[in-house]
């Protein structure tokens, strides 16, 4: 069957892998788990936003190239469909969490050409969840983070009526102070970019796997701040493992809120006022510090 709006996940997987589908289980409207005739289990995901599948596939490959955190292999993709290996899930435990922290540190240390650099072959116009995310390279983290990660979503939230202009001024003042609040300068890290707990799979093999990236060059504390924001099993063990491999600069816990401004404002754009209020609380705390 040719690609099109009526193509099924099974037909897409067969076309992209060259293998027949022996079994199919729908997980949601956009996801299916398939068994191919060679016995391999795969996940098939559809994306309707222009460039979203290309961005995700490029991000998965870039993260995998670091040889650090485990990443499901990309088995095929086109403009609409992505086929990756299925990860059998287990239960998180402290030992796996410590190793995940070490592996995440190694992923970040693999680096990126610049803050905002997209993965090789990845588009500049990418996505974080369902929100557009533009990758524009920069050399100065505080200025880049304000201009390309915080302010675009703040202004969208104002346009949508989710944040009032007077409230937006509070966040804008924090952005102006980022050079003094950001801590010591660091080289661009290779970020997952959307590292909430739902994108960490605790595999049956005893390791953590990462899926659904919004990969780009950024500050390593941003990934860690997102893990804390949305909760992660055995988070302190993850952080202990990270610190063992690549100690963070002094004051990193105090900077967590600054790095959470980005995902909070993204969620304010996608989901409304509750997340905007959290972002404003973060901005108030930063202003008081």
Catalytic residues: 194
Tell me the CA distances in angstroms from 252 to 10, 175, 216, 255, one per residue in order. Answer: 46, 17, 21, 5
Distance separating alpha carbons of residues 253 and 218, to the nearest angstrom? 17
Is the CB of residue 104 less than 8 Å from the CB of residue 221?
no
Cα–Cα distance, 38 to 34 (Å, whole number)? 11
Check if the beta carbon of residue 196 is closer than 8 Å to that of residue 210.
Answer: no
Q: Which of 238, 230, 232, 201 is nearest to 95 (CA)?
A: 238
Give the SS3 label for residue 37. Answer: coil
Task: Return d(Cα 115, Cα 190) in angstroms, integer.
Answer: 9
Closest CA to 54 of 10, 4, 120, 5: 120
């Amino acid at each position: 069957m040719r690609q099109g709006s009526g193509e099924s996940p099974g037909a897409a997987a067969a076309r992209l892998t060259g293998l027949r589908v022996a079994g199919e289980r729908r997980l949601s409207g956009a996801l299916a788990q398939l068994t191919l005739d060679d016995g391999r289990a795969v996940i098939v995901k559809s994306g309707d936003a222009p460039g979203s599948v290309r961005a995700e596939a490029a991000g998965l490959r870039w993260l995998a190239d670091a040889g650090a955190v485990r990443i499901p292999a990309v088995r095929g993709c086109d403009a609409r469909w992505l086929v990756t290996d299925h990860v059998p899930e287990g239960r998180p435990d402290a030992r796996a969490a410590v190793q995940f922290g070490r592996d995440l540190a190694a992923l970040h240390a693999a680096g990126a050409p610049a803050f905002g650099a997209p993965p090789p072959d990845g588009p500049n116009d990418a996505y974080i969840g369902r929100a557009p995310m533009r990758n524009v390279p920069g050399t100065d983290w505080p200025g880049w983070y304000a201009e390309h990660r915080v302010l675009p979503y703040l202004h969208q939230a104002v346009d949508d009526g989710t944040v009032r202009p007077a409230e937006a001024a509070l966040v804008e003042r924090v952005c102006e102070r980022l050079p003094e609040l950001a801590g010591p300068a660091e080289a661009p890290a290779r970020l997952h970019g959307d590292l909430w707990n739902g994108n960490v799979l605790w595999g049956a093999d005893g390791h953590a796997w990462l899926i659904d990236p919004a990969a780009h060059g950024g500050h390593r504390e941003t990934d860690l701040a997102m893990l804390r924001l949305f909760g992660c099993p055995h988070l302190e063990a993850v952080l202990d493992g990270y610190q063992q491999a690549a100690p963070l600069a002094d004051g990193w816990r105090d900077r967590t809120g600054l790095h959470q401004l980005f995902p909070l404002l993204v969620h304010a754009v996608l989901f409304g006022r509750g997340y905007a209020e959290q972002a404003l609380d973060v901005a108030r705390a930063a202003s008081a510090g």
